[in-house]
Structure 1
Amino acid sequence: MTSSDSLPLDPSAGAVALTRQLCDIPSVSGDERAVADAVEAVLRNQAPHLRIVRDGDTIIARTELGRARRVAIAGHLDTVPVNENLPVQDRPDPETGAETIWGRGTVDMKAGVAAQLLLAVELDDPAVDVTWVWYDHEEVASHLSGLGRAMRNHPALFAADFAILGEPSNGTIEGGCNGTLRAHVTMHGKRAHSARGWMGVNAIHRAAPLLQRLAAYEAERIVVDGLEYREGINAVRIDGGVAGNVIPDRCTIEVNYRFAPSRSGEEAADFVREFFADADEVEIVDLALGARPGLDDPFARGFVEAVGVQPKAKFGWTDVSRFSALGIPAVNFGPGDPLLAHADEERVPVEQIEFTVSALRSWLTGGRAAGSS
């Protein structure tokens, strides 16, 4: 085995130090190879109790102890682009004064990944079998997901009774997730010289009522399995125009619709098409289903009781949806405020990292995990 001193990651230093180490390895979506190599090196050198399979830059590591129940615990390795917020820094939180780690990826989601990697190495005799997963390409279009690819390539490796995603949840449990849909909504016009604008039809002007409708819309709050989800539909990008002296003949609004997990993908698409019924074109370009909370499952309830926090709804889309689609109840549980994910001031409290490790360790080695039924 290789000494931990020669590896870029050292779980023996603790989850807080491991978070710093993970953040400082380049890992923007599409550039996960170095961090995936580092995670794999730790597992192969320090976790002989795990069976390791690599699929691209996704790593699956499983205990095979013959336990009655199995839990999957997963986290993504990639981040959104850096904006002068690496390497990480240790600074107090400006609001609470708490000890925090600042930098890209601290919240989304290297602190969660660090907790998982430390426990994967440490726990060679958990009360349940565990499938640990670290995957690539989460922060981009859903069809690129390393988790989705690995599930297609190795479906048998993902059989489980319950799943936990280490997505930031402020150290609480967030059940399920909203679905997400992106659509291109287009209005057509007719080109003309702008000096004689009356000879054309301005597509950008024709799109104005659509933007006004979006601005005025009050999205629903929908209760699903006891948790309240907030929907939202927003313009996120607009494209139109030919030149500074030409009446534009096309204007496209990119719309993002976040919908409650009680809606099917077809229902979400129908809602968007109806919302823009007067548009010339509505093209659905990306769709990922939400996930119901699944907290009625006894194994999930045992986890909630063990952690001792009140579950909340997850408003953003996460990969709990992929586990839910396999019939596996799944929740989000990890350190960091999701409101700070992707922000320039992204930061995670040290206390939340330590709580996450402690809660997972206690549950995975205690009677609740083994005895929940």
Structure 2
Amino acid sequence: MKLLENLLWLCKIPSPSGEERLLADELDQRLAALPLASSLRRYGNSLVAPLSRGSGGPRVLLVGQLDVANPGQRGGARVENNRVLGAGAAEKSGLCLMLDVVERRPPVRADITLVFHARGECGFDGSELRLVMARDAELRDADFALVLKPTDNKLQLGSGGSTHATLAFAGRTAHSGLPGAGVNAIHKFARVLSHLAAFEPVPDVVDGLTWYETMSVTSAHGGRAGSVVPDQLEVNVHHTFGPSTDSHTSQERLMALVDRVGAVRFEELSEPAPPNRRHALIAALEQSGVQGVEARQTWTEVAGFAALQIPAVNLGPGAERTMHAQNEVTEIAELERAQAILDRWFASMT
């Protein structure tokens, strides 16, 4: 089975984030030997393969990342109980489908371009996908992007927004046996912490899909010594939200949370993406055999494409729950199902 062979071949080549050159070189050679609509283009360790042109149909990008997140993932993958297990087994399942499309060339009335990009686990700002989109003008004219991520073949629409903020609390040192002589920065955070601990996820329903607004403390750094009242504390808060909220509103909510007790420094702002469920290509994909439709709660490249006014979705055969794990998993049956989903979707464009 060529699909399985391709996935095992991809997993055999190590590609932790930032170390994708070997896999990019191998793919470069393999794609260069196949018939393309125009020359293969390379940006750093990312590749753009124009598969078809002049169809008169929509301009569609198939997008997959070369890297895996877990630095301990090495040694390739293996087949056990009709599953592919190991380094990249889920993350690279999308690349496997992209190779399959290039090699089989299923009939489709669309201008298809494949984008194999490096540093996919580094966020849109750190990903080479951003560089590729900035340097390749043709890609920015795309009508749609299918981002092949592990989703258990569920069609994931939209993308949650995300804000990382550092909350800073200042105090005054004193001996901890005489706390009244100082101001305890950690105690100043107590009111804010009680609010965060009591925060219940708030639903945001768009196009029949539900996102949840959450706030979580993810790290805290402060204090000096066991007998010193702390004069400083910095806390990272991660605020996630659905398409009805934007980063400006997120910033306002975090500033209101701190009020005048502390200061806020915004570290990372990621806008959400709408689900676009009524878009013709998304509606057709929903009818092509996917295993359900759901809201994408966390940030994904779909939001980066939305910023470029390109509708996009996430879909792929890999087991989402195993992403970043030591043993990623893709069921062989789901790999075959994904191939059939793409074939039916392509047929709907003819």
TM-score (norm 2): 0.91
For 1:252 and 1:225, the matched residues in 2 are separated by 38
Structure 1, residues 164-216: CA drift from partner, whole Å, max 9, x if none?
11111111211111111111111112223445544332322322332332221
Q: Structure 1 residues 309, 81: closer, same or farther in 2, change over 3 A?
A: closer
* Number of equivalenced pairs: 349
Please, which of 317, 320, 345 is the counterpart of residue 335 of structure 1?
A: 317
Please, which of 301, 309, 313 is the counterpart of residue 283 of structure 2?
A: 301
For 2:183 and 2:88, the matched residues in 1 are separated by 46
For 2:203 and 2:160, the matched residues in 1 are separated by 11
For 1:191 and 1:147, the matched residues in 2 are separated by 47
Please, which of 114, 136, 140 is the counterpart of residue 158 of structure 1?
A: 140
TM-score (norm 1): 0.86
* Deviation (angstroms), 1:224: 0.9
Structure 1 unaligned residues grouped into runs of 5+: 1-12, 93-98
**In structure 2, what is the equivalent of residue 90 of structure 1?**
79
Q: Structure 1 residues 24, 204: closer, same or farther in 2, change over 3 A?
A: farther
SS of corresponding position for 2:188: helix
Please, which of 7, 14, 20 is the counterpart of residue 19 of structure 1?
A: 7
Structure 2 unaligned residues grouped into runs of 5+: none
User: Percent identity of the aligned residues?
Assistant: 29
**In structure 2, what is the equivalent of residue 71 of structure 1?**
60
Report the more deviating stretch, 127-136 or 15-24. 15-24
Structure 1, residues 242-267: CA drift from partner, whole Å, max 9, x if none?
34443322111111111101222212
* Deviation (angstroms), 1:219: 1.4
**In structure 2, what is the equivalent of residue 34 of structure 1?**
22
Report the more deviating stretch, 155-164 or 250-259. 155-164
For 1:106 and 1:243, the matched residues in 2 are separated by 47
**In structure 2, what is the equivalent of residue 272 of structure 1?**
254
* Deviation (angstroms), 1:279: 4.1
Report the more deviating stretch, 44-53 or 181-190. 44-53
Report the more deviating stretch, 275-284 or 163-172. 275-284
Q: Structure 1 residues 85, 275: closer, same or farther in 2, change over 3 A?
A: farther
**In structure 2, what is the equivalent of residue 123 of structure 1?**
105
Q: Confirm or deny: 8 A CA contact 1:82 1:104 kept in the other structure.
A: no
Please, which of 94, 104, 118 is the counterpart of residue 112 of structure 1?
A: 94
Q: Structure 2 matches for 1:227-242, cutoff 5 A?
A: 227-242=209-224
Counterpart residue identity of residue 28, structure 2: E
Q: Structure 1 residues 258, 50: closer, same or farther in 2, change over 3 A?
A: farther
For 1:279 and 1:285, the matched residues in 2 are separated by 19
Q: Structure 2 matches for 1:158-307, cutoff 5 A?
A: 158-194=140-176, 196-307=178-289
Q: Confirm or deny: 8 A CA contact 1:15 1:111 kept in the other structure.
A: no
